[in-house]
């Protein structure tokens, strides 16, 4: 049985820095949802099932200090040529609220792509 996504992914643009052990890896942010995020980049060092720290900077502000930033934990769900999938795993309730606010904003401001 194929795995079905629970949440709609919102296409977005930004940078995701993922901390794996002592390494800090950078990826292009492709999409986000209430369930997780999709990334593009070199998958070296990421293992499915591992818990990572992720810092997301969205490219929606006019200057770097006005861009929305989100920092929390995530679990690596998929690693492959099509990209990287992370599932949110916030360790404190405040981070879950931050995720919801960012995804709400992205959903509200999303453009329809034909």
Dump pLDDT digits (tens) for 94-113: 889 888 888 888 888 765 44
pLDDT at 62: 61
Q: How far apart are CA 85 and CA 62, in angstroms?
A: 28
SS3 state of residue 9: coil
Q: What is the pLDDT of residues 37-75, one digit of tens each?
A: 999 998 888 999 999 999 998 876 566 566 778 899 999
pLDDT at 1: 44
Nearest CA-CA partner of 28 in 42, 16, 10, 44: 16
pTM score over 0.95: no
| Burial annotation 80-103 (CB, 10 A radius, 16+ → b, else e) | eeebbbbebebeeeebeebbeebb
What's domain 10-109's superfamily in CATH? predicted glycosyltransferase like domains (2.40.10.220)
Q: Where are the domains of the chain?
A: 10-109
The vertex-24 CA angle with 3 and 104, nearest 5°, equals 50
**Are 16 and 27 within 8 A, CB to CB?**
yes
**Are 21 and 46 within 8 A, CB to CB?**
no
């Amino acid at each position: 049985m194929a795995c079905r996504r629970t949440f709609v992914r919102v296409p977005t643009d930004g940078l995701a820095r993922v901390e794996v052990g002592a390494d800090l890896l950078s990826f292009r942010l492709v999409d986000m949802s209430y369930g997780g995020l999709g990334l593009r980049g070199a998958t070296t060092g990421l293992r499915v099932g591992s818990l990572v720290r992720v810092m997301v900077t969205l490219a929606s502000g006019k200057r770097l200090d006005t861009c929305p930033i989100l920092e929390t934990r995530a679990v690596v769900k998929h690693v492959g040529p099509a990209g990287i999938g992370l599932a949110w795993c916030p360790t404190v309730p405040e981070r879950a609220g931050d995720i919801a606010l960012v995804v709400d904003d992205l959903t509200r401001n999303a453009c329809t792509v034909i």
